[in-house]
Structure 1
C-alpha cells in the first residue's frame, strides 16, 4: 500500500531554499521574493495518477503525472527550464528525477504523522521543506 498524500498541506519550514535557487541560477530578485513565500501544496492522488499543486501569492505551479511514467515537465515560472521527469515509489516515499540542464535535480517526498517532508535537490544542494496537513 502506497502512502496517501491526498490533502491540503501548509508549509511550516523551509531550510536552505535560497542556496537551492542559486544552484538553479535563479536571479537574485526572484530568489528574494521566493524566499519570503510559504507556499501550500494541494495534492490529489488517485491510484498512480497524481496532481500536486503548489500555491502561493506570487505564482502557482501544477504537476500532473502518472507514477512510473516519464513526462516532459515545463518549469516555466520556477527556473524557466524543461526537463524529462520520472516519479517513482521507493517504499513509502515518492522519488522524482528531473533530467535536464542541471545535474542531480529532483526531490523526495514522504509523510510522517500529519507532516509531509520534501527534500529538493540540484547540483549537490539540498533544501528541506516541511508541510503540515490541514482540514479543507
Structure 2
C-alpha cells in the first residue's frame, strides 16, 4: 500500500466545475468552490482511514475501512446519502459511491511525490494534484 498518509496542499484542479455540475451543485456554490484552496489530511489507524478535506469555506471528513461498505452522507458537498465502498485497485485507493447519481466515486494514488485525486460523476472527471505540505 502506498504512503498516502500525510498532509497535502492542492496544486492543480482540472474540470472541478464540470464535476460539480454533474452533482447538481448550484452555479453560485460552484463559483465559490472554484476559488477555494483545499488541503487534504490522510490518516490511518489500524485498518481505518480518515480523509479530511479542509478549506476556509468548508470542511469534509470521511472515515472508512477498506473493503467494508458504509453509508455516507455527503454533507456540505451535494448533501446526498450514498453507499460507499473503498478498495485497493493496484496502487489506487478507489471509492465507488452508489446512489442517485450514476458512475460516482473517486480514486487517490501517489505518482512520484504527488497525491493524485480523480473525482467522477456521470461522465465528468475532475483531476486534482496535491503536493506534500511543507509545514508538516
Query: What band does the TM-score fall into relative to the shorter chain?
Result: over 0.9
Q: Which residue of 2 aligns with 1:25?
A: 24
Shift, 1:57, TM fit: 0.4
Contact kept in structure 2, 1:94 and 1:109, CA below 8 Å: yes
Q: Take 2:14 and 2:71, find their aligned partners in 1: how far apart are those partners?
A: 28
Unaligned segments of structure 2, at least 5 residues: none
Cα-Cα RMSD: 0.9
**Superposed CA offset, 1:4-33 (max 9, x none):** 111100000000000100001100111001
Contact 1:4 1:45 in 2 (8 A): no
How many residues were matched structurally? 135
TM-score (norm 1): 0.96
Query: What is the aligned partner in structure 2 of residue 9 from structure 1?
Result: 8
The ranges of structure 1 where at least 4 consecutive aligned residues each deviate by more than 2 angstroms after the TM superposition are none
Per-residue deviation, residues 69-93 of structure 1 (Å, max 9, x unmatched): 0001110110010100000001111
Does residue 1:98 correspond to 2:97, yes or no?
Answer: yes
Alignment of 1:1-136 (within 5 A): 2-135=1-134, 136=136
How high is the TM-score relative to the length of structure 2?
Answer: 0.96
Report deviation, 1:47: 4.1
Q: Alpha-carbon deviation of 1:67?
A: 0.6
Instruction: Supply the distance in 2 between the matched residues of 1:42 and 1:80 (Cα, whole angstroms).
Output: 21
